[in-house]
Amino acid sequence: MKLEWLVRGLPGHPLHPPLTDLTIGTYAFATIAAIGSKVGISEHPAAHAWWIALVVGLCATALTATTGFLDWIGIEWGSELWKTATVHMLAMLTATGFFLGAVFAGHHGYTAGTVSTGAFVLTILGFVFLTTGGWLGGSVVFVHGMRVLNLVEEPAERAAAPVPEREG
Ligand code: HEM
């Protein structure tokens, strides 16, 4: 087994995409909970859920950003793929900054069971950048085809099995 597979995932089964599901899902839940608290749907429990979900999202981001970075450093510098991936990275780091800011700015409100207006704005801004970054991540994979094997005729049992294929 190659050491690289432990940190980047197997060919056809990279590590970054499944971790992005966890991260984006957690931040999306936090954003929905913040809105729920602000509009008065279960205000206090939703405020608690919002803040805790942001912290979980930040923890998940550490793994997600690390695996993304390990793939990013292998891209040819200055290429069109590199440009898209780099803007994706900047959007995701900006989103992370806003969510981190919301955690600090919103801690006092969280202990009182509310989402402060400042922390709410930071959360919404974070979600806007997260969505933009997710769109660009989709461009990296589904437009540029990064880490896609595209073995259309691969037998189903081999496609599902963790059999390493060569990546282009
Ligand atoms: C909050 C952090 C991040 C999130 C939520 C995120 C999300 C995504 C998403 C949704 C995709 C498309 C994959 C798919 O549709 O399944 C993607 C791909 C990608 N991202 Fe990120 N990303 C994050 C951080 C980063 C960082 C910091 C970098 C680079 C330093 C990076 C580099 C890449 C690369 C190279 C790909 C192409 C697919 C791959 O390598 O597995 N990402 N990302």
User: Over the stretch 123-140, which tens digit does the pLDDT of each residue have?
Assistant: 999 999 999 999 999 999
- First-to-last alpha carbon distance for the chain, in angstroms, is 19
The verdict on the CB of residue 54 being under 6 Å from ligand 1 is no
Checking if the pLDDT of 1 tops 90, the result is no
The verdict on the CB of residue 65 being under 6 Å from ligand 1 is yes
From CA 102, how far away is CA 29, in angstroms rounded?
15
From CA 25, how far away is CA 78, in angstroms rounded?
31
Question: What's the 145 CA to ligand 1 centre distance in angstroms?
Answer: 13
3-state secondary structure of 167: coil
Report the pLDDT value the prediction gives residue 162, as an integer from 0 to 100.
Answer: 76
Q: Share the mean pLDDT of the chain.
A: 95
From CA 92, how far away is CA 16, in angstroms rounded?
13
Which amino acid, one-letter code, is at 144?
H
pTM of the model: 0.94
The verdict on the CB of residue 92 being under 6 Å from ligand 1 is yes
Question: What's the 95 CA to ligand 1 centre distance in angstroms?
Answer: 13
Q: Give the mean pLDDT of 54-67.
A: 98
Checking if the pLDDT of 38 tops 80, the result is yes
Q: Give the mean pLDDT of 25-52.
A: 97
